[in-house]
Structure 1
Amino acid sequence: MPSFPQLNPLRLRSYVLRLPLCTRLILCICVALWVAAIPLPWLREWASLEPAKMDFTQMHRLNAFPLMHLNFLHLIFNIIALTPLLERFESEFGTLVTLALFTGPFGTLPGGIFVLLEKYVFRSNTVVMGASVWVFLLLSSEASKTHKTNPNFSIGPYKIPTWTTPLILVLVTSFLVPNVSLIGHLCGAGIGYLWASGYIKFLVPHEKILRWVETKLNLLGRLPHYVSVDQKTYGRYGVLPSSSVGPGPKSPDVGQRLGP
């Protein structure tokens, strides 16, 4: 019989146990809010992003809407899609950067753009919630990085730019999955492209501040599964490209730009 190592329960358990801290925290909050919304259904209305209700007293919706889900299937599909992307992001940029971005601009920016488009361009009031906005944000960032080393992929006689993959998925999802927001997913993808291009890197706290906080609070020693500024997989913004080969053995990854 054929074997399916990717479905091995032991490997799945090992993968879950190795998830970094912020990834665990975000996933747990998503699950906790879904459970809490069963006896307290008003939580969905409180957290959902509804353009018509947005004013300065409702700004919490911009941060809360990616964490709330409509039902169990909505939650499960988003968690399955988000987990590997978020885990990779945190392993590359560190726990503090991930926490700062996903509790701040990675929610407020796509959410704010969505509200402005819905209210003043499309004159609509589509209500959205769910972590799929983060899924397409991270997919766009990954696709932009992949595009630098693999600019195209082929479908028959056609060559498709790699960076367009998330946009194709947005369109396919909009056609196949009912009650999804095309505009909301495009807003998330747009912020992902901006992040990968470097235009919004100023949103990340300065590395000296991050190191001071880590050292002052001894976060690496106190928090299990914490990813520090100095222990990220590829460095803060990736390995700089290089065409020269120095003496001694060379890692196969040297010379490739791995960060955004």
Structure 2
Amino acid sequence: MPSLPQINPLRIRSYVFRLPLCTRLLLVIIVALWAATIPVDWLREWASLIPDKVGLTSMHRLNTFPLMHLNFLHMIFNIFALAPLLERFEAEFGTLVTLALFTGPFGLLPGGIYVLLEKYVLRSNTTVMGASVWVFLLLASEAMKTQKANPNFSIGPYKIPTWTTPLILVFIISFLVPNVSLVGHLCGLGIGYLWALGYIKFLVPHEKILRWVEGKLNLLGRLPHYVSVDQKTYGRYGVLPTAVPLSNVSRSPEPGQRLGP
């Protein structure tokens, strides 16, 4: 009889304490908002994305709907899916970029497209909420990176383009899981693909501005688990660092320092 996988609380605790600053901040907000809806039930309606209620005085919905969840299971599944993806994104692009994007364009763009499609194409008013829009956005970005190294994967005699993996997953989940928003997930995927292809990276502040803010406020020294512009794993937009011949590197008996969290 196969043994069940063992859950190691120490490894879970270690992983949680290694999460970078913006990732843990967004996860804490998600949990806090869910907890707040228990005594304050109207908060869920206030934060969710309802196409007919989006106007000049309620634009906050475009930023709050990924943070709000329908119930505990909805929240916990999205957290487990989001945490490793968001952690990897922050390690690559830095805390300031992650904070700017996930409190701004990465909510506004998929949310805005969803509202337009619902109101003017589908003629519907379906309410959506949940961080799954971010999950599929990040999955699309990761799939495009994997595409460069592994353009295809095989299923029997068929070769499937790697970039279609999250798209296939969206349709499978929509078929198997009730009450999920296919249109909302597709909007998240679309923004993720645009990000990975470089079409919307102009939305990120210039690196000189980010460096100035970090230095002026001494964010690296003041904030624990902060990922600076200079400590990203792969550079600003995933560019690998230039190789240096080993002969030109001074040897030291001290162990090297690992980049990133």
- TM-score after normalising by structure 2: 0.91
Q: Deviations over 1:107-155 (max 9, x none)?
A: 0000000000000000001100000000000000000010011000111
Which residue type is aligned with residue 205 of structure 2? P
Structure 1: segments with no counterpart, 5+ residues: 250-260
Which residue type is aligned with residue 232 of structure 1? K
Q: Deviations over 1:23-70 (max 9, x none)?
A: 000000000000000000100000010001111111000000000000
C-alpha distance in structure 1 between counterparts of 2:194 and 2:170, whole Å:
17
Q: Does 1:154 align with 2:139?
A: no
The residue aligned with 1:57 is: 57
Say which SS state the counterpart of residue 127 (structure 1) adopts: coil
**Superposition map of 1:139-150 within 5 A:** 139-150=139-150
Q: Percent identity?
A: 81
Deviation at 1:4, TM superposition (A): 4.3
C-alpha distance in structure 2 between counterparts of 1:140 and 1:165, whole Å:
8
Q: Deviations over 1:65-122 (max 9, x none)?
A: 0000000000000000000000000000000000000000000000000000000000
The residue aligned with 2:94 is: 94
The residue aligned with 1:138 is: 138
The residue aligned with 1:168 is: 168
Decide whether aligned partners of structure 1 residues 122 and 225 sit closer, same or farther in structure 2, where only a CA change above 3 A counts: same
**Superposition map of 1:104-143 within 5 A:** 104-143=104-143
Count of residues paired in the alignment:
246
Decide whether aligned partners of structure 1 residues 170 and 15 sit closer, same or farther in structure 2, where only a CA change above 3 A counts: same
Deviation at 1:239, TM superposition (A): 2.2
C-alpha distance in structure 2 between counterparts of 1:17 and 1:140, whole Å:
27
Q: Does 1:191 align with 2:191?
A: yes
The residue aligned with 2:258 is: none
Deviation at 1:228, TM superposition (A): 0.2
C-alpha distance in structure 2 between counterparts of 1:33 and 1:3, whole Å:
33
Q: Deviations over 1:144-170 (max 9, x none)?
A: 010011000111111110000000110
Q: Does 1:39 align with 2:39?
A: yes
Deviation at 1:2, TM superposition (A): 5.5
The residue aligned with 1:255 is: none
Structure 2: segments with no counterpart, 5+ residues: 248-261
Deviation at 1:189, TM superposition (A): 0.3
C-alpha distance in structure 1 between counterparts of 2:101 and 2:91, whole Å:
14
The residue aligned with 2:26 is: 26
- The alignment yields a C-alpha RMSD, in angstroms, of 1.6
C-alpha distance in structure 1 between counterparts of 2:216 and 2:160, whole Å:
48
C-alpha distance in structure 1 between counterparts of 2:170 and 2:185, whole Å:
6
Q: Deviations over 1:219-241 (max 9, x none)?
A: 00000000000001111112259
The residue aligned with 1:257 is: none
